[in-house]
Amino acid sequence: MIDTPDKPSRSGGRAGRRAKRQASSSPASREPYVERNFPLFRLLDEDGLQTIERNADIILRDVGMVFSGDPEVLLILAAAGARVEGERVYFEPGMCREIIQATAPADFTQHARNPANSLHIGGRSAVFSTVGGPPFVHDIDKGRRYATTEDHLNLLKIGHILPVLHATGGPCELMDVPIPERHLHGTYYQFRYSDKAIHGSVRSATAAKDTLAMARIVFGERYLEDNICIYAGVNTNSPLVLDDTMMAALKIYARANQAVLVSPYILAGAMGPVSIAGSLAQQLAEALGGLALVQLLRPGAACAMGTFIGSISMQSGAPAFGTPESIKGITIAAELARRLGVPLSCAGGAVTASKLPDAQAAFESTLTLQASFYAGVNYISHCAGWLEGGLTTGYEKMIIDADICSILQGFNKPLDLSEEGQAMDAVREVGPGSHYLGAAHTMRNFETAFWKPTVADNNTYEQWASEGAPDTAKRANGIWKAMLVDYQTPAMDPGIHEALRDYRDQRLKEIRTGE
């Protein structure tokens, strides 16, 4: 058990200063989520949106959706008016939408164990969440390898420190831990090493139950009844299947009044038609089916619609990210979710197929992040760290992505049109042909006027060269190392901590002895 691997050494030097800059928003001053201050970017007209909605309805009516391995769900759907044939369920046009719109909240609060980090999900809000789940990790020192517990903790701590990230998840798999035990460690680590809002495990019914039990220890038994403390991402198995494992998790979280995200994962050409309009219709159909089930299980339960549309090369089968098709899909999906009246979660934050924290990784990630933010996505997943189509979490990539998130969040700061912001006294003072470096207005404002980069290097060529000419990845490497040195475990009530550990250890014992 690696519970307190913090080293007592000191950070310092350039990387240390960079790390401090990136972490400079203290928990007290940082925003727990972003409230957009700009008109959303829209792409499709009313006719186009209606076409996709109509097609989703036709898919649900004529093709149906499979809810596999769960007779109870089939009974619930049949009782609500769906036509059930075997495990295939057909919905009349408008039925799912009606069920969802009758009871699903348009927005909700997800509580973090530190109330300062609680999230608003929906409306004009944007939550930036770290990468979740890759089995590999990469850094420029050791390259790519299977993720271990040490990596998991390191990345969790970096994600906790980065002020632009609002929610944690398992930043990589615990490949050195047996599968049935992973959720116990992962949930414990999320609660212990960060106090930001968490993701719930959907690995199995057991995992979902354990996650809830541990959340009840942290938040209090009764608190969970009326408050959302877990955000659980349930993937459909596209095309048009909700499998028994995911459905089990969906049922448990929904019935416990926790937030359920129903998210298709479509690589168009493989899990969806080789067409964005077609994949959007199928995606909407899958979300409608899944979210209707959530509302039937627990009317009023918090839920969100997910979107993920990538494309694959039909020559090689390789998935691609940051493509025109991805950006288009995100932008239109955001509209579709608003029209449905539920928050949109986009598993297309800083996504890329690149194997390295290089230019491709950066431009693909930026394109989808900027598109998600402009379009109004409420919960942007995988905002920092993703590499290699989600197979790898990159240490340096996490730091680089955080700077991109930071620029977008800085963009959200409204244009200052106060008298001081208009700066007319400065223009009058300086006049033509001079400069503003020493102007009174400049002296009053330069410290806070502009966004400050972290990993970006804006020095002269000569200064940069004198420092060893480090590329972005090299600088990011220094930053994450300094962050790990500076990391401080957030406070937790000793009694709660003990109970949490006891629960984990007890359950591990049960699993190992087959009880």
Q: With the C-alpha atoms ordered 290, 293, 297, 299, is the resulting torsion angle positive or negative? A: positive
Residue of the chain from 427, 505, 506, 509 that contacts its own copies (CB under 8 A): 427
Q: Which of residues 24-43 bind its own copies (CB under 8 A)?
A: 38-39, 41-43
Q: Which of residues 163-222 bind its own copies (CB under 8 A)?
A: none
What contacts 376, CB < 8 A, 6 or more positions away? 36, 40, 41, 124, 126, 334, 338, 344
Q: Which of residues 110-139 bind its own copies (CB under 8 A)?
A: none
Least Å distance, CB 489 to its own copies, is: 30
Alpha carbons 170 and 440: distance in angstroms, whole number = 49
Q: At 469, which amino acid appears? A: A
The rounded radius of gyration (Å) of the Cα atoms in the chain is: 24
Q: Which of residues 484-503 bind its own copies (CB under 8 A)?
A: none
Give percent helix, percent strand, percent coil of the chain, each to the nearest 5. Answer: 45, 15, 40
Phi (first) and psi of residue 503, to 5 degrees:
-60, -50
Q: Using CB under 8 A, which of the segments 93-101, 190-198, 466-474, 489-497 binds its own copies? A: 466-474
The two structure tokens encoding residue 392: 């790898």
Q: Which of residues 286-315 bind its own copies (CB under 8 A)?
A: 311, 313-314
Q: With contact defined as beta carbons under 8 Å apart, do 476 and 138 qualify?
A: no
Beta strands in 155-246 (DSSP E): 198-199, 230-235, 241-242
Contact between 468 and its own copies per CB under 8 A: no
Residue of the chain from 144, 255, 339, 501 that contacts its own copies (CB under 8 A): 144
Contact between 64 and its own copies per CB under 8 A: yes
HSE-CB at 505 with a 13 A cutoff on CA atoms is 8
Residue of the chain from 9, 46, 413, 491 that contacts its own copies (CB under 8 A): 413
Q: What is the 3-state secondary structure (H, E, C) of 326-361?
A: HHHHHHHHHHHHHHHCCCEEECCCCCCCCCCCCHHH
Residue (181 or 425) nearer to its own copies, CB = 425
Least Å distance, CB 194 to its own copies, is: 25
Least Å distance, CB 499 to its own copies, is: 42
Residue (228 or 281) nearer to its own copies, CB = 281
Residue of the chain from 13, 142, 411, 510 that contacts its own copies (CB under 8 A): 411
Least Å distance, CB 23 to its own copies, is: 18
Alpha carbons 196 and 491: distance in angstroms, whole number = 12
Alpha carbons 70 and 234: distance in angstroms, whole number = 16
Least Å distance, CB 297 to its own copies, is: 21
Q: Using CB under 8 A, which of the segments 213-221, 300-308, 359-367, 484-492 binds its own copies? A: 359-367
Contact between 328 and its own copies per CB under 8 A: yes
Alpha carbons 261 and 256: distance in angstroms, whole number = 14
The two structure tokens encoding residue 451: 């966004």
Residue (141 or 447) nearer to its own copies, CB = 447
Contact between 357 and its own copies per CB under 8 A: yes
Contact between 449 and its own copies per CB under 8 A: yes
Interface characters, 67-96, with its own copies (x: CB under 8 A):
---------------------x--------
Least Å distance, CB 404 to its own copies, is: 5
Least Å distance, CB 58 to its own copies, is: 7
